[in-house]
Amino acid sequence: MSKGKGLDGEEERANMEDSDGEAKRKLEKKSSPSSSGIGCSSVVEPQDADYNTPSLSDELEVLILARVPRSLYGKFSTVNKRFLSLIKSGEIFKIRGEIGLKEPSVFMLASGETSWWAFDPQSESCRNLPILPSDTCFAAGDKETFCAGTHLMVSGKEIDGLVIWRYELAKNEWFKGDSMKNPRCLFASATCGNYAFVAGGIDTGSNKILNSAEKYDPETKSWDWLPMMHQKRKMCSGCYMDKKFYVIGGKNEEEENLTCAEAFDESQNKWEIIPDMLSDMPISTFQSPPLLAVVNDELYTLETSSNELKVYIKSSNSWKRLGPVPIRADFNKGWGVAFKSLGSKLLVIGASSASNTGHGMTILTCYPDPDTEELQWTPLDCGKNSSSHFIWNCCVMMA
């Protein structure tokens, strides 16, 4: 009996093991990748636990996305509809501005090229902008550019007259914008945060030299008058420094070179003359307007006759030499050279001084220091070095 009971017990345990094994196999089959993974029409819900990751709050998600490098926005927008909406609406750029996060983009049009392109100095990558839908007169003529917030403004002449085309970074599209209150060419311009200032130039209707000035607001896409400058001038340069809009150099109605400058203080709503600001600068016939750039509220210029960098000494109204720049600004008396501020760095684009022929674009940056005796210039590779070194238009956007 004991032996029989022993056999019965073993059979019972075997039957239990068979039953458990069969149940286990069924459960494994039910939850295997072949039945619940990619490519299967029926997906089995989790049986024992909730594997869903808790979602982030909208506010936290936006703050995280705002910190994504801008060069990756194109990729993120293809996989995230919410991020695409934030970009298209421009909201992500407003948030970046509020948290003090801005990256530079360099927009350029080089000789021989039909479309604008954008260069990202941080990733050293570039991309073509959409084709600007202007007429042939605008495409072939001289143009002037400036940035206001996330708008790239390109002013030029079409068959029907002077127009301004506006490239909106958020939408990645060109729009024909509102013209200035006083349409002009050969004017000074400067960017101040989300705003842009223009002053002087030539009235495209009467051909008279102007002393009028205006301010552009990208939020309203409109222009407002500023007080008149003291001096009429054309072919002048502009910059923004110490919370003031500076207009420097140029020519007057008698075609005389002007060495004075003017600074507009918006808090006082008036212009102040700065006499002899360019008195010790060599000025030659047919040279470009002064090549100016402001970094950390210090004004720098690239002298077109000597290819030297200079810094403006405010206390003495004079200029200090900081050494040569490895770019041939003297090739065409400053024309075709881009000299800009790039956040905390200087940016210069043109023909390398190491080349006798001057062919091929060279892009260099440096951290300027008014107290140094020798600056270190760093070359950047944008993959466009086979392009012409002659830059028709160049503008830096911080967004």
Question: Could you tell me the domains of the chain?
Answer: 63-95 (no CATH), 104-131+282-393 (no CATH), 138-279 (2.120.10.80)
DSSP 40-96: -S--PPPSSS--PPPPPPHHHHHHHHHTS-GGGHHHHHHH-HHHHHHHHHTHHHHHH
What are 341-393's pLDDT values in tens digits?
999 999 999 998 876 555 578 999 999 999 987 889 999 987 654 568 899 99
Alpha-helical regions (H) of 99-183: 136-140
Run of H or E residues at 20: helix 2-30
How far apart (Å, rounded) are the C-alpha atoms in residues 259 and 283? Answer: 9
Task: Give pLDDT, residue 60.
Answer: 85
What are 299-348's pLDDT values in tens digits?
999 999 999 999 999 999 999 999 999 999 998 999 999 999 999 999 99
What are 310-321's pLDDT values in tens digits?
999 999 999 999
Average pLDDT for 125-133: 93
Q: Under 8 Å CB-to-CB from 387, ≥6 apart: which residues?
A: 110, 112, 113, 360, 361
CB 350 within 8 A of CB 338: yes
Q: How far is CA 324 from the centre of its chain?
A: 26
What are 77-123's pLDDT values in tens digits?
777 788 888 888 888 898 998 898 889 999 999 998 889 999 998 88
R_g (Cα) of the chain, nearest Å: 31
Q: Which range among 41-45, 150-154, 310-314 shows the weakest confidence by mean pLDDT?
A: 41-45
How far apart (Å, rounded) are the C-alpha atoms in residues 201 and 209? Answer: 6
Q: What is the mean pLDDT of the chain?
A: 85
Q: Under 8 Å CB-to-CB from 21, ≥6 apart: which residues?
A: none
Residue 99 token pair: 């948290």
The identity of residue 101, as a single letter, is: L
Does the pLDDT value for residue 131 go beyond 60? yes
Average pLDDT for 223-238: 98
Q: How far is CA 59 from the centre of its chain?
A: 26
Does the pLDDT value for residue 223 go beyond 90? yes
| 39 or 307, higher pLDDT | 307
15: left (phi over 0), alpha (psi -120 to 50) or beta: alpha
